[in-house]
């Protein structure tokens, strides 16, 4: 795919109520996603919308969208997997050290519950400390009592799912930096079922509010500022975001454990550095164009502060470690990944298990019907996505997948 000239991007959609700017060539933009972006921009509270190069149709709000609102927030603009995001850490291993990856994959799958699975018991404070997780976990759990009453009944499940990966597009990978051969651990996960339940409670509440009755898409229902509904939503979503962040931190520790034991049995001590942990489905309160606003990123990362972040591609394609360029034009944001170009059902109908095996050749991973919807061809070209946002992030490393654990 040919990269566009830099002067072409971003483009501004014509005739929108609030400005919509896209880091994607018009000919590659899905018409349904563009219509959805226009609809979002029609909300009276919206200051502006930014669409990342991986954007595609979502429920209510477009995946790959960044929305700045005055005095309101739409739960659909965060989505149901609150706090979904990525983490990474570099090892001092190099490609030549890699061996017996099938055994290592089995060890990772045994250490990190995937799919609908959870830990048999919540991990103890001693175990979490050993894994390098942050302290203050009991103080964090005190916030659970403020969540919706229907959600509080799920506390045991939430505790045992902390530090578990889930399914879908979530993964744990071992990757190699194609420049220096250094081996990285990468991870993609969210807030599990507890975040989904929090989101669904608030989406239903927002849909029932009178000021949302005339919306063309009730999925875009909003809470208004200084209302009990908005205060409760912001509080609960921030709790779920913290849950997701802590969960990734724990899984990175479990992954490091598996790696250390794998090479420790061979007399090799492994060291880790350059940790990354960031959300890409979340809200924050930020200054945009000199005003305090609610910013929702649904499939987008923050580039404020120039911190390191991870932008993954599809299963087996790898990822980019990037540094944010803090471009205010994008509301200080960049893409969260490659982005899907076809639905899961379409992928299952289009491709076969044989296609999956060919497209993941040389990678230690599942190659069965259970992950067929995650086949690389169901996703956009990650390298093109990176070129389209060259003014938003600076690539630090391109990581090629050698091992992938899926739910």
Other CB atoms closer than 10 Å to residue 189's CB: what's the count?
Answer: 28
Could you tell me the sign of the dihedral formed by the alpha carbons of 163, 168, 170, 175, in that order? positive
CA count, 13 A, side-chain hemisphere, 336: 32
Of 160, 229, 164, 162, give the one whose Cα is nearest residue 201: 229
Of 170, 248, 179, give the one whose Cα is nearest residue 400: 179
327 is in an annotated binding site: no
312 is in an annotated binding site: yes
Using alpha carbons, list the distances in angstroms from residue 320 to 17, 182, 278, 379, 388: 35, 13, 14, 15, 14
3 is in an annotated binding site: no
> Cis link prior to 10 (omega < 30° from 0)?
yes
336 is catalytic: yes
337 is in an annotated binding site: yes
83 is in an annotated binding site: no
81 is in an annotated binding site: yes
277 is in an annotated binding site: no
119 is in an annotated binding site: no
Catalytic residue among 47, 56, 262, 336: 336
314 is in an annotated binding site: yes
The H or E element containing residue 263 is: helix 228-264
7 is in an annotated binding site: no
29 in Cβ contact with 22 (< 8 Å):
yes
281 is in an annotated binding site: yes
333 in Cβ contact with 303 (< 8 Å):
yes
Using alpha carbons, list the distances in angstroms from residue 346 to 179, 340, 342, 407: 35, 11, 6, 20
188 is in an annotated binding site: yes
319 is in an annotated binding site: yes
d(CA 122, CA 269): 28
Residue numbers in the known binding site for GMP are 169-173, 280-281, 312-315, 319, 336-339, 406
Residue numbers in the known binding site are 81, 169-173, 188, 280-281, 312-315, 319, 336-339, 406
Residue numbers in the known binding site for Mn(2+) are 81, 170, 188, 280
Query: Catalytic residue numbers?
Result: 336
């Amino acid at each position: 795919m040919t990269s566009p000239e830099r002067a072409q991007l971003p483009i501004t959609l014509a005739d929108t109520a609030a400005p919509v700017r896209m880091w994607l060539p018009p000919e590659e933009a899905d018409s349904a996603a563009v219509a959805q972006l226009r609809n979002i921009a029609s909300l009276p509270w919206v200051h502006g919308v930014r669409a990342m190069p991986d954007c595609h149709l979502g429920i209510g709000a477009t995946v790959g969208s960044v929305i700045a609102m005055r005095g309101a927030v739409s739960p659909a603009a965060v989505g149901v997997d609150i706090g979904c995001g990525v983490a990474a850490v570099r090892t001092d291993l190099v490609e030549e050290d890699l061996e017996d990856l099938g055994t290592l994959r089995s060890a990772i799958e045994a250490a990190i519950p995937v799919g609908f699975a959870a830990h048999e018991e919540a991990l103890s404070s001693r175990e979490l400390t050993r894994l390098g997780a942050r302290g203050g976990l009991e103080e964090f759990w005190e916030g659970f009592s403020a969540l919706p009453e229907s959600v509080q009944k799920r506390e045991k499940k939430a505790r045992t799912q902390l530090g578990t990966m889930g399914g879908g597009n979530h993964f744990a990978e071992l990757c190699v930096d194609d420049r220096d051969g250094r081996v990285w651990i990468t991870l993609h996960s969210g807030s599990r079922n507890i975040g989904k339940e929090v989101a669904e409670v608030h989406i239903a509440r927002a849909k029932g509010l009178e000021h949302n009755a005339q919306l063309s898409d009730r999925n875009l229902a909003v809470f208004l500022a200084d209302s009990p509904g908005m205060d409760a939503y912001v509080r609960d979503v921030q709790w779920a975001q913290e849950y997701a962040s802590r969960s990734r931190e724990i899984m990175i520790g479990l992954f490091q454990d598996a790696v250390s034991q794998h090479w420790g049995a061979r007399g090799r001590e492994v060291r880790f550095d350059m940790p990354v942990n960031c959300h890409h489905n979340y809200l924050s309160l930020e200054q945009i164009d000199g005003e305090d606003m609610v910013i929702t990123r649904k499939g987008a990362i923050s580039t404020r502060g120039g911190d390191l972040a991870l932008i993954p591609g599809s299963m087996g394609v790898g990822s980019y470690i990037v540094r944010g360029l803090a471009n205010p034009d994008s509301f200080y944001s960049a893409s969260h990944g490659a982005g899907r170009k076809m639905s899961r059902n379409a992928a299952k109908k289009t491709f076969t298990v044989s296609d999956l095996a060919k497209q993941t050749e040389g990678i230690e991973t599942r190659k069965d019907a259970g992950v067929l919807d995650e086949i690389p061809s169901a996703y956009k070209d990650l390298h093109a996505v990176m070129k389209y946002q060259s003014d938003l992030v600076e690539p630090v490393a391109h990581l090629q997948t050698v091992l992938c654990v899926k739910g």
